[in-house]
Structure 1
Amino acid sequence: MAGSTLPRRALGRKLRDLRTGAGKSQLAAGLSIDTSKQTIGRLEDGQSVRISTPNVNALLDFYRADEDSRTEVIGLLQEVKAAKGDPSGGWWRAYADVVNSHFDHFMNLEQACNRLVSFQLTLLPGLLQAPTYRRWLVETNDPAMSAVDVERRLELTARRQHRLTEDTGFSLDVMLSESALRHQVGGRAVMAEQLQHLVEVGSLPNVSIRVIPFGVGGHPGLVVQSFTLFEFPPLSASRMTEPPVVFVEGFTGSLFLEDDDVIDRHRAVVADLRQVALSEADTRRLVREIAEEYAA
């Protein structure tokens, strides 16, 4: 994470939320610490600015931030200075004790992006998972997890999925290997339910689901492996485009990739995968056929 922009992004979003929640303008915020509204805008956009801890504390006083928000902001500021750590926060933080340590970063990006592109080789992404499918994954990953915490994990997934129906500015573009439909996660009944859910979600106007069938043979996704690409709306202050991020998850760790060359390579893979993937209509047809096989 050395040199990463992720901590600055998280800090900027939190300060923007506090300012708008307090009903203050960027101009007023700048005047409160003897700086310009442009500096406040760059700070909120996650750009590098010179700002001291006393200045941040003064902003928090101006915004009448509560103690929890103050603690979070100061912690994020320290992580920005260290250019490492696990900096982010939001409603999902209530579930921090039942998720992986990288999940704060992931959720911060998922909630801020306006477009999410995902390629998955073996499992469906969380935004598409039906409850019984998700339950099997949670219980298999951590058999010792209490029943209460399992339910909290399911609740977290359900809350994440609200973006699909409640946020008209958000779009989801998913490409799946056919193997993600064929692996019998949780058994045939669970998969029959999951694939029916996939058809329903895929009918939403802001969701695109396309399957890469076995028949196409080798394709770049087999080498690149599963990944998620986050793309963001223009920055509020400068209207510049916020750099995208690629997320790659492993069994014991994860990577957040921001290098321009890495982003370009993943975008090229997305373009190649689209060339061999079924259309959305043909995908729905295939998903229904496999669901019927499971239900038989």
Structure 2
Amino acid sequence: MSPASPTLAAWELGQRLKEAREDHGLTGSDAAKVVGITQNYISNVEHGRRTIAEEKLRQLASVYELPPEELDELVALRKACEGRGWWARYSGIYSAELLRFFGYEHAAEEVRTYETILVSGLLQTESYARAIHRGDGANLRMSEVERRVAVRMQRKQRLLGTDPLRATILMGETSLRQQVGGTAVLLEQLRHLLDLIDECPDNLDLRIIPFTAGSHGAMGSSTFHVLTFPSSRLSRLAWQETAVAMDLVDDQARVAQYSASFEEAMTFALDRQDTADLIRETLKS
């Protein structure tokens, strides 16, 4: 079972309230008027961006004619929303949207990641992550750099343990050669990739898309992740990163597009053994 996440609890609560509202034939504006709140409040609750007051939750459940047992489940979810995930400690250095992504990733069952130039964040060493944050042009204080590195290392813990995150990660061959932090840092990072491949054989599937691969739909796109969750009630989410913006995607048509792009890119990637062999060859070159 994936670890608990207040962020995921808020999203599940919002999704279930939205489904109940739509099943009852009400718009967000209709529901808001009945219980005396704004449509924006309803929207934020349904998208997991705000925790609803218990009184308002019970009022909505009454309007939606939900059975007592379902109300009990929703009240329990609301209670779970009040917890604090480890990522909450970093609200001073990251946006609310990125913190939400950390919360979703923490509770995900599976992540599928496409990364072209850098080593994926979940696989980075401390030195590699530090070099990225020192060189991102943001002129960060060393204390903030170290906090950001700590976040990377905390996220990475989901690959380990008794119930690890399943991760399928596609990286371009450039990521094995880009001199992030210099030669010593890169070589340490490459050795670490081989260690992770050995340590996580059942939950980490790392594939490299070689320079010799042909053109594919994801080529030229930014980094993106597709997250799947343990609960069948929850849809997949996508997260996209560019040099200047980040976007959490819950529209299922767009999520399906990201998933299709990932599947196509997979057909151009080396298999697991050839990926490990390429990393070893790169270490020697």
Is the shorter-chain TM-score for this pair beyond 0.5, marking a shared fold? Answer: yes
Q: Deviations over 1:125-171 (max 9, x none)?
A: 21101111100111112553222222222222212111111142521
- Of the three residues 223, 226, 238, the one matched with 1:229 is 226
Distance 2:111 2:84 in 1: 19
Equivalences for 1:157-176 in 2 at 5 Å? 157-176=152-171
Equivalences for 1:131-280 in 2 at 5 Å? 131-141=126-136, 144-203=139-198, 204=200, 205-234=202-231, 240-280=232-272
Distance 1:223 1:6 in 2: 33
Distance 1:115 1:154 in 2: 23
Spell out structure 1 runs of 4+ moving beyond 3 A: 2-7, 9-12, 42-45
Match of 2:102 in 1: 107
Match of 2:48 in 1: 8
Aligned residues between the structures: 231
Deviation larger for 112-121 or 156-165: 156-165
Q: Deviations over 1:25-61 (max 9, x none)?
A: xxxxxxxxx982312324666xxxxxxxxxx7xxx6x
**What secondary structure does 2:88 align onto?**
helix
For structure 1, the residue ranges without an aligned partner over 5 or more in a row are 16-33, 46-55, 61-68, 74-87, 235-239
- Of the three residues 85, 90, 93, the one matched with 2:85 is 90
Match of 1:76 in 2: none
Q: What's the offset of the Cα at 1:284?
A: 0.4
Aligned AA (1:102): E
Q: What's the offset of the Cα at 1:280?
A: 0.6
Aligned AA (1:208): D
| Contact 1:89 1:104 (8 Å CA) reproduced | no
- RMSD between aligned alpha carbons? 2.9
Distance 1:38 1:166 in 2: 33
Match of 2:27 in 1: none
Match of 2:71 in 1: 39
Q: Deviations over 1:59-92 (max 9, x none)?
A: x6xxxxxxxx9xx85xxxxxxxxxxxxxx95111
For structure 2, the residue ranges without an aligned partner over 5 or more in a row are 1-39, 55-65
Percent identity between the aligned chains? 24
| TM-score (ref. length: structure 1) | 0.69
Q: Deviations over 1:73-121 (max 9, x none)?
A: 5xxxxxxxxxxxxxx9511111222334432111111111110110001
| Contact 1:10 1:89 (8 Å CA) reproduced | no
Distance 1:9 1:41 in 2: 19
**What secondary structure does 1:247 align onto?**
strand
Match of 1:81 in 2: none
Q: What's the offset of the Cα at 1:122?
A: 1.0
The change in CA–CA distance for 1:247 and 1:214 in structure 2 (over 3 A counts) is same
The change in CA–CA distance for 1:129 and 1:275 in structure 2 (over 3 A counts) is same
Q: Does 1:123 align with 2:118?
A: yes
Distance 2:211 2:46 in 1: 37
**What secondary structure does 2:167 align onto?**
strand
**What secondary structure does 2:92 align onto?**
helix
